[in-house]
Protein backbone atom coordinates (compact mmCIF):
# COMPACT_ATOMS: atom_id res chain seq x y z
CA UNK A 1 0.00 0.00 0.00
CA UNK A 2 1.53 3.28 -1.11
CA UNK A 3 -1.59 5.30 -1.83
CA UNK A 4 -4.74 5.86 0.22
CA UNK A 5 -7.89 7.89 -0.08
CA UNK A 6 -8.93 10.38 2.59
CA UNK A 7 -11.74 7.98 3.51
CA UNK A 8 -9.25 5.13 3.98
CA UNK A 9 -7.01 7.43 6.01
CA UNK A 10 -9.96 8.20 8.30
CA UNK A 11 -10.47 4.47 8.85
CA UNK A 12 -6.76 3.83 9.40
CA UNK A 13 -6.64 6.45 12.15
CA UNK A 14 -10.12 5.69 13.45
CA UNK A 15 -12.44 2.70 13.55
CA UNK A 16 -10.28 0.09 11.80
CA UNK A 17 -8.32 -2.25 14.08
CA UNK A 18 -6.65 -4.25 11.31
CA UNK A 19 -5.35 -3.25 7.89
CA UNK A 20 -7.80 -5.70 6.33
CA UNK A 21 -10.66 -3.75 7.96
CA UNK A 22 -9.78 -0.88 5.60
CA UNK A 23 -9.27 -3.01 2.50
CA UNK A 24 -9.73 -6.81 2.50
CA UNK A 25 -6.71 -7.19 0.20
CA UNK A 26 -4.42 -5.59 2.82
CA UNK A 27 -2.72 -7.70 5.53
CA UNK A 28 -4.80 -9.12 8.35
CA UNK A 29 -2.52 -7.41 10.87
CA UNK A 30 -3.19 -4.92 13.66
CA UNK A 31 -2.68 -1.27 12.81
CA UNK A 32 -0.14 0.39 15.11
CA UNK A 33 -0.64 4.15 15.17
CA UNK A 34 1.90 6.83 16.13
CA UNK A 35 0.48 10.33 16.24
CA UNK A 36 1.40 13.78 17.57
CA UNK A 37 0.05 14.84 20.95
CA UNK A 38 -3.15 16.81 21.21
CA UNK A 39 -1.27 20.10 21.75
CA UNK A 40 0.23 19.82 18.27
CA UNK A 41 -0.95 21.91 15.33
CA UNK A 42 -0.18 18.87 13.16
CA UNK A 43 -2.64 16.84 15.24
CA UNK A 44 -5.28 19.57 15.02
CA UNK A 45 -4.94 19.97 11.26
CA UNK A 46 -5.02 16.21 10.61
CA UNK A 47 -8.15 15.80 12.75
CA UNK A 48 -9.81 18.75 11.03
CA UNK A 49 -8.94 17.63 7.50
CA UNK A 50 -9.25 13.84 7.77
CA UNK A 51 -11.71 13.27 10.61
CA UNK A 52 -13.99 16.32 10.24
CA UNK A 53 -12.87 17.67 13.65
CA UNK A 54 -13.79 14.43 15.44
CA UNK A 55 -10.93 14.11 17.97
CA UNK A 56 -12.68 11.31 19.85
CA UNK A 57 -12.36 8.93 16.89
CA UNK A 58 -8.58 9.15 16.73
CA UNK A 59 -8.11 9.25 20.49
CA UNK A 60 -10.26 6.13 20.97
CA UNK A 61 -8.48 4.10 18.25
CA UNK A 62 -6.71 0.98 19.53
CA UNK A 63 -2.92 0.69 19.41
CA UNK A 64 -2.37 4.44 19.33
CA UNK A 65 0.66 6.13 20.85
CA UNK A 66 0.71 9.91 21.15
CA UNK A 67 3.90 11.88 21.58
CA UNK A 68 4.91 15.52 21.44
CA UNK A 69 8.33 14.32 20.22
CA UNK A 70 8.26 13.59 16.47
CA UNK A 71 11.42 11.49 16.83
CA UNK A 72 9.46 9.09 19.07
CA UNK A 73 6.81 8.82 16.34
CA UNK A 74 9.46 8.15 13.69
CA UNK A 75 11.04 5.39 15.82
CA UNK A 76 7.62 3.81 16.38
CA UNK A 77 6.76 3.72 12.70
CA UNK A 78 10.25 2.60 11.72
CA UNK A 79 10.16 -0.21 14.28
CA UNK A 80 7.04 -1.99 13.04
CA UNK A 81 6.10 -3.07 9.55
CA UNK A 82 2.40 -2.56 10.26
CA UNK A 83 2.75 0.84 11.89
CA UNK A 84 1.58 4.15 10.50
CA UNK A 85 2.00 7.68 11.73
CA UNK A 86 1.94 11.32 10.79
CA UNK A 87 4.33 14.12 11.64
CA UNK A 88 6.08 17.04 10.01
CA UNK A 89 7.59 16.38 6.60
CA UNK A 90 11.08 17.29 7.82
CA UNK A 91 11.07 14.19 10.04
CA UNK A 92 10.16 12.03 7.07
CA UNK A 93 12.87 13.69 4.94
CA UNK A 94 15.47 13.00 7.65
CA UNK A 95 14.43 9.34 7.68
CA UNK A 96 13.41 8.74 4.07
CA UNK A 97 15.90 5.89 3.82
CA UNK A 98 13.92 3.87 6.41
CA UNK A 99 10.37 5.25 6.06
CA UNK A 100 7.82 5.16 3.25
CA UNK A 101 5.55 8.09 2.57
CA UNK A 102 1.92 7.54 1.62
CA UNK A 103 0.44 9.28 -1.36
CA UNK A 104 -3.08 10.53 -0.73
CA UNK A 105 -5.57 10.44 -3.57
CA UNK A 106 -2.61 9.66 -5.87
CA UNK A 107 -0.64 12.75 -4.80
CA UNK A 108 2.73 12.41 -3.09
CA UNK A 109 4.00 15.21 -0.87
CA UNK A 110 6.62 17.33 -2.63
CA UNK A 111 7.61 20.97 -2.88
CA UNK A 112 5.39 21.29 -5.97
CA UNK A 113 2.28 19.60 -4.51
CA UNK A 114 2.60 21.36 -1.16
CA UNK A 115 3.32 24.72 -2.79
CA UNK A 116 0.27 24.40 -5.04
CA UNK A 117 -1.84 23.03 -2.14
CA UNK A 118 -2.77 19.98 -4.23
CA UNK A 119 -1.37 17.55 -1.63
CA UNK A 120 -4.44 16.93 0.56
CA UNK A 121 -2.59 17.43 3.87
CA UNK A 122 -0.55 20.48 2.90
CA UNK A 123 -1.04 23.30 5.36
CA UNK A 124 0.34 26.80 5.57
CA UNK A 125 1.93 28.13 8.72
CA UNK A 126 0.63 31.48 9.93
CA UNK A 127 2.15 34.06 12.23
CA UNK A 128 -0.10 36.73 13.71
CA UNK A 129 0.58 40.09 15.27
CA UNK A 130 -0.94 43.54 15.18
CA UNK A 131 0.44 46.95 14.35
CA UNK A 132 -0.10 48.01 17.96
CA UNK A 133 1.92 45.10 19.33
CA UNK A 134 4.72 45.70 16.83
CA UNK A 135 4.84 49.38 17.83
CA UNK A 136 4.72 48.61 21.56
CA UNK A 137 7.27 45.81 21.26
CA UNK A 138 9.79 46.59 18.53
CA UNK A 139 11.44 43.20 19.12
CA UNK A 140 8.27 41.57 17.74
CA UNK A 141 8.43 43.75 14.63
CA UNK A 142 12.15 42.98 14.26
CA UNK A 143 11.55 39.23 14.60
CA UNK A 144 8.79 39.27 11.99
CA UNK A 145 10.97 41.31 9.60
CA UNK A 146 13.83 38.83 10.12
CA UNK A 147 11.47 35.89 9.61
CA UNK A 148 10.02 37.30 6.39
CA UNK A 149 13.51 38.02 5.08
CA UNK A 150 15.09 34.64 5.82
CA UNK A 151 12.26 32.13 6.17
CA UNK A 152 12.87 30.36 2.85
CA UNK A 153 16.60 29.97 3.46
CA UNK A 154 16.07 28.58 6.94
CA UNK A 155 13.06 26.44 6.17
CA UNK A 156 14.88 24.53 3.44
CA UNK A 157 17.71 23.77 5.87
CA UNK A 158 15.35 21.99 8.25
CA UNK A 159 13.54 20.03 5.53
CA UNK A 160 10.31 21.94 5.06
CA UNK A 161 8.94 23.55 1.93
CA UNK A 162 9.52 27.22 1.14
CA UNK A 163 6.80 29.83 1.24
CA UNK A 164 5.47 30.86 -2.15
CA UNK A 165 6.93 34.13 -3.41
CA UNK A 166 3.54 35.79 -3.85
CA UNK A 167 2.47 34.80 -0.32
CA UNK A 168 5.76 36.06 1.05
CA UNK A 169 5.42 39.34 -0.86
CA UNK A 170 1.89 39.84 0.55
CA UNK A 171 3.16 39.20 4.07
CA UNK A 172 6.00 41.71 3.60
CA UNK A 173 3.54 44.31 2.31
CA UNK A 174 1.27 43.70 5.34
CA UNK A 175 4.25 44.18 7.64
CA UNK A 176 5.25 47.40 5.90
CA UNK A 177 1.68 48.70 6.05
CA UNK A 178 1.44 47.86 9.75
CA UNK A 179 4.75 49.58 10.46
CA UNK A 180 3.69 52.70 8.57
CA UNK A 181 0.74 53.10 10.93
CA UNK A 182 -2.01 52.55 8.36
CA UNK A 183 -3.08 49.20 9.82
CA UNK A 184 -4.21 48.48 13.37
Counting every residue, how long is the chain?
Answer: 184
* pLDDT at 181 exceeding the cut of 80: no
Give me the residue spans of the domains in the chain: 3-115, 131-180
Where would I find the H helices in the chain? 6-12, 19-22, 41-51, 55-60, 70-78, 89-94, 111-115, 131-136, 138-157, 165-180
Contact 130, 184 (CB under 8 A): yes
Strand ordering across the sheet containing 64-67: 64-67, 32-36, 83-85
pLDDT tens digits, one per residue of 57-71: 999 999 999 999 999
Q: Which of 35-44, 82-91, 148-157 has the lowest mean pLDDT?
A: 148-157
Contact 33, 85 (CB under 8 A): yes
pLDDT tens digits, one per residue of 108-126: 988 788 878 899 998 877 8
Q: CATH homologous superfamily for 3-115?
A: Periplasmic binding protein-like II (3.40.190.10)
The pTM of this model reads 0.81
Cα 38 to Cα 55: distance, rounded to the nearest angstrom: 9
Mean pLDDT value across the chain: 91
Of 115, 29, 12, 44, which Cα lies nearest the Cα of 80? 29
The SS3 assignment for 136 reads: helix
Tell me the sheet residues that pair with 32: 83
Radius of gyration of the chain (CA): 19
182 pLDDT tier (thresholds 50, 70, 90): low
Amino acid sequence: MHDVTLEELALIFGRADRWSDVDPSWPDEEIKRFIPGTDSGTFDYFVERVLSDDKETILAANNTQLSEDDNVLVRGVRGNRYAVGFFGYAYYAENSNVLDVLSIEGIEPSAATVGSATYPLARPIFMYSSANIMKEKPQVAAFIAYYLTYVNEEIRDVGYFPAGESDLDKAKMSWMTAMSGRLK
